[in-house]
Chain A
Amino acid sequence: MHIREKFGPGTVNRGAALFECEWDGGRFEAGLFAGGMFRSGQFVDGVFLGGIFWGGTWLGGTWEGGFDRKGIYHSRGDSPSPR
C-alpha cells in the first residue's frame, strides 16, 4: 500500500494499492489507483477509483468513477480516453 507517493517512468504496478498517488509514466497492470493523479503511462488493468485521469492511455481495467483532465466526472463503466 502506498499513500501520497510519486511513481515515474519504468514503474510497473502488479497489484499494489495506491492512495492519493501521482503516476507519471510506467505501466499499471493490476491493483488499485484511488484518489490520485494519473498524469501519463498506460493503464492496462486494475481498478481506477475517484482520481483524475490527466493523460496517458487507458487500455483496460475497471473504471469505478473519476475525473478527466477537464475535471468532468465519468461514471462507473466509462473510460477516460479512447482505447
Chain B
Amino acid sequence: MPTPAEGAAAERAIVVAAQRGADDAFSALVRIHQRRAYAIVRAIVLSHEDAEDAVQEGFLHAHRALDRFRPDQPFGAWLYRIMANAALDLVRRRKVRDADELPESIPMPFRDPAESGELRERLQEALTHLTTRQRAVIVMHDVEGFTHGEIGRTLGIPEGTARSDLHHARAALRRLLQDIRSTP
C-alpha cells in the first residue's frame, strides 16, 4: 500500500498529465475524487439529484480551471473548494427559482412514505430550518467525519466559524426534534 507521500506524488503526476490535456488522466482524477466530492455537495444541497448536478458542474469548473492549479498544492483541497462553490451556486439558483415560482414550497426529495420513519421525515423538515452553511457543517462533520479545519478550508470560512455553526446547528436540531427523540 502506498504511503501518503507516495500517494500525493502519484496524484501530482496525474494532475500534471491532465493539465497537459490527457483525458484519461482527468478521468482518473474523477474516479479518485467523485465520492468525496459527492459527499461535500450533498451536505450543501437538499437532494441527491441536486448533488449529482453540482458534482458534474464542479468537475466542469475544475477542468476549465486546471491550467491555473499549481501542482505543488493539495489537489483535493482545491477541488473540494470548487465543489462547495458549485453546490452553493446551485442552492442560490434554486432559492431564486423557488422564490419566483413556488413561494410556499419546501424543496425536499421524494421518498416513499412507507420507507420513511417519523424521525427521518422530521429530520428532513428540520434541516430546512438551518442555514445552508449550518446544514453543510453538521453533515460534513457528523456524517462525513470532516474536521473543523477541513470544513473551514472547503467552505472558505474560519475554523472557529465552522465550530460555531456546528454548535448552532446541533442546538437547532435538538430544539426542533425534542418531542420525538426517545432520550431527552
A and B part of one assembly: no
Tell me the A residues contacting B by CB distance below 8 Å: none
